[in-house]
Amino acid sequence: MLPNRHMRLTPQRQVILEALREEDTHPTADEIYEKVRRVMPRISLGTVYRNLDLMASEGLILKLHVDDTQMRFDGNTEPHLHISCVHCGRVSDIFQAPDLTGTIRDLPTDYEILGYTLLLHGVCPSCQQSASASSEQSS
């Protein structure tokens, strides 16, 4: 989705967007709120949530459905994939991914496909190390 260049970038939206783009951890709305409050102490959690939803719908940021808990957000709208650790919940970017557009377009469906979201699940390096250390200790 292309950003709507007509959306007014209010001071609150600007601070929220900057806070999100400074992170590569795919924070939750609550985490963004805590960071934004350092700059705008009087901003409400509801304002942060509403603006994140609006900016996501306008294509300025990405809204990630990682699990059944809170949504996560990504300030990088360049094409890339995400991978989530099944143990700790960490979300990382994958930029060197193959282009799946042709594969998606060739799926047997009568829907008009407008886009896709692909979330990979795995075990991050930290959790792999922890599991390896635990198994070595129990041996």
pLDDT beyond 80 at 134: no
Positions of CATH 1.10.10.10 in the chain: 1-74
- Model's pTM, two decimal places? 0.79
Would you state the CATH architecture of domain 78-139?
A: 2-Layer Sandwich (3.30)
CATH number for the domain whose boundaries are 1-74: 1.10.10.10
Q: What percent of the chain has pLDDT over 70?
A: 93
Residue type, 7: M
66: left (phi over 0), alpha (psi -120 to 50) or beta: alpha
Region 95-102 average pLDDT: 80
Q: How many CB atoms lie within 10 A of CB 80?
A: 14
Residue 1 scores a pLDDT above 70 = no
In the chain, pLDDT over 90 holds for what percent of residues? 56
Gap between the Cα atoms of 133 and 34, Å rounded: 34
Q: Which residue intervals of the chain bear CATH 3.30.1490.190?
A: 78-139
Q: Is the confidence at residue 104, as pLDDT, over 90?
A: no
Burial 37-48 (b: 16+ CB within 10 A, else e): beeeeebeeebb
